[in-house]
Structure 1
Amino acid sequence: MARHHEMLMFHALSQCPSLASAALRLNVSGPTVMRAVARLEARLGVQLLSRSTRGVVLTEAGVGFMADCSRILKAIDEAEVSAKGWHVQAQGNLTVLLPLLFSRYIMAPMLAGYMDQYPDIKVFAHYHDRFPNMHEEGMDVAVLVGHLPSCSLIARPVGSVRSLVCASPGYLALHGEPVVPQDLHHHRLIATQANQDWVQWPFQQEGEANSLKARTRLNCATLQAAIDAAAHGAGLMRCLSYPLYDYLSSGRLRRVLQPYEPPSIPVHVVYRERRKAPMRVRSFVDYIVEHLREHPALRADAC
């Protein structure tokens, strides 16, 4: 029991920006948290936290121990939930990983709809554009854009996206439409990152993948700024298709060089394989898979 208590204290302190916030999260005093971690370090014979005036940071040993604590504490929670019968009721905490831009353009209304339908579930949403180690990081579900590495996760395909080049009809009427990728050297190109003098855009030509490097005329610090600039006639820009869907559907932007686009990129909902997944996981997966498959921006023939 004491070990479980110490793990709880250490895990909370490692997840919070300060001792005060960790104590508040656990509803105990700051000294109580530090005494528990000190007992843990003494018993293990290793330093888990490095303390300074700026707060606490994990040591190398602390990082590894924190991952193990997360897995153990989650397993304990799940055992209790299963014993209480929560595996047949949609309630409890749900931790999901979502790509940052994909969440902004596609997932946000779906999250709101899911929470309306399942009011007893508390969602912890993490936003990263990477493939997670879901076991070590304690993730229940992830939405991933890209080809999946071989792993033990269950993956449900929900659609695909493409890398598109587009410009406003006004710009194309004034400057002409590129017919082959090499024509881009004679156009105004918009970068989706600040201070980017060059872009290197991938294309598929005669069945082979290659890329074209060309100078930019406008560098935007955010993707949305680049899209808006292109919609107002500033030049051609390139990005994945899902943030462009409304612009292409409304005619504010037009897709060019379509025959040279790289192959489509799959989108999956993945979760950890379990004999009996809790209802909170199954409810989220089923809800998100259904709504993503219905979203027009993820269809192969979109725009």
Structure 2
Amino acid sequence: MDRYHEMLMFEALSERPSLAAAARRLNVSGPTVVRAVTRLEARLGVPLLQRSTQGVVLTKAGAAFMADSSRILREVEMAEASAKGLHVQAQGNLTVLLPLLFSRYVMTSLLAGYMDAYPQVKVFTHYDDRFPNMNEEGIDVAVLVGHLPNSSLVARQVGHVRSIVCGSPGYLEAHGEPAIPEDLKRHKLIGTQASRGSVHWDFQDQGQHNSIKARSRLSCATVQAAIDATAHGAGLTRCLSYPLYEYFNSGRLQRILQPFELPALPIQVVYRERRKASMRVRSFVDFMVEGLREHPAMRPDAL
């Protein structure tokens, strides 16, 4: 068996790490897949799978080889499709990373619209508020908040967000609106459990940074829970602006301390290839860039 087919056998484990499932996916026998993986491990000199009574999991070397195999096989697929004249139509699998709350408030309708427009693309979405290693993790496109580290990634900016302090109209009427960040120490502050009973919020005043550290009256498990508690009058919280635009538009929350907010953070649609990007990557990037640039959550200064 040549290396391409061994790689194909191994890549079949990507959707579900099960030798039997991989065999069914390829319509071959289980021993055929086992022999292919065994030959790969022998030639590479490293274990790719850890086997147990519960099934198999990828080793660190296996995960890295899986990412490279997936990329190489996609390029082979693209070359064949181009030769056949199929490159004009987006098709195949697409792996996307999205921030969690950003997906809920901004991306859901856009994803649905893309799936309608490109029915032959199968999208696998992952949700995490971090900067991924897109090559090692096999991620095709990511929506990222913040400035990118130096990298070879291609980024298209779609808007920006800010860290905003807010409270409900009822709470602000009862307790008064803070005029400067230092006034927050006299208010009921809502943080998350990650802050461990206190908040540490950064502000700027005429270009100078200053920090406010105070005990929180309520610590929530998630940012969404903190927003909901704030909307019900439990106190003041601070978070990125994109989950808040509906609350501001409906009057459930009010923005405060706006002159002291930190500089805006860019939101960018990021992908790995430029000229070599497949039609499914280009179609997804173009669709999302156009949709996100029109979304009100991308313009917090207009709220």
- TM-score, scaled to structure 2: 0.92
In structure 1, runs of 5+ residues without a counterpart are none
Pairwise CA distance, 1:300: 4.5
Percent of residue pairs identical: 72
Matched residue, 1:297: 297
Which amino acid counterpart does residue 34 of structure 1 have in structure 2? V
Secondary structure of the structure 2 residue equivalent to 1:47: coil
Distance verdict in 2 for CA 1:121–1:8, change over 3 Å: same
Matched residue, 2:187: 187
Alignment of 1:88-167 (within 5 A): 88-167=88-167
Alignment partners' CA distance in 1, 2:9 and 2:87: 27
Tell me which moved more, 77-86 or 238-247.
77-86
Q: Deviations along 1:280-300, whole A, 9 cap, x unmatched?
A: 222222211111010011114
User: Does the alignment pair 1:247 with 2:247?
Assistant: yes
Which amino acid counterpart does residue 126 of structure 2 have in structure 1? H
- Report if the CA contact (8 A) 1:74-1:138 is conserved: no
Task: Kindly report the root-mean-square deviation, in angstroms, between the aligned alpha carbons of the 2 structures.
Answer: 2.1
Matched residue, 1:76: 76
Tell me which moved more, 267-276 or 174-183.
267-276
Q: Deviations along 1:28-64, whole A, 9 cap, x unmatched?
A: 3433322221122223333222222232233343233
Which amino acid counterpart does residue 302 of structure 1 have in structure 2? A
Secondary structure of the structure 2 residue equivalent to 1:103: helix
Which amino acid counterpart does residue 230 of structure 2 have in structure 1? A
Matched residue, 2:46: 46
Pairwise CA distance, 1:249: 1.2
In structure 2, runs of 5+ residues without a counterpart are none
- TM-score, scaled to structure 1: 0.92
Alignment partners' CA distance in 1, 2:226 and 2:218: 8
Matched residue, 2:238: 238
Secondary structure of the structure 2 residue equivalent to 1:87: coil
Alignment partners' CA distance in 1, 2:76 and 2:195: 49
Q: Deviations along 1:251-271, whole A, 9 cap, x unmatched?
A: 100111111110001011122
Pairwise CA distance, 1:194: 6.4
Which amino acid counterpart does residue 107 of structure 1 have in structure 2? M
- Report if the CA contact (8 A) 2:17-2:58 is conserved: no
Which amino acid counterpart does residue 88 of structure 1 have in structure 2? V
Tell me which moved more, 192-201 or 218-227.
192-201
Q: Deviations along 1:120-168, whole A, 9 cap, x unmatched?
A: 2222222222223333433332211111122222221110000001010
Which amino acid counterpart does residue 101 of structure 2 have in structure 1? L
- Report if the CA contact (8 A) 1:153-1:272 is conserved: yes
Alignment partners' CA distance in 2, 1:6 and 1:265: 44
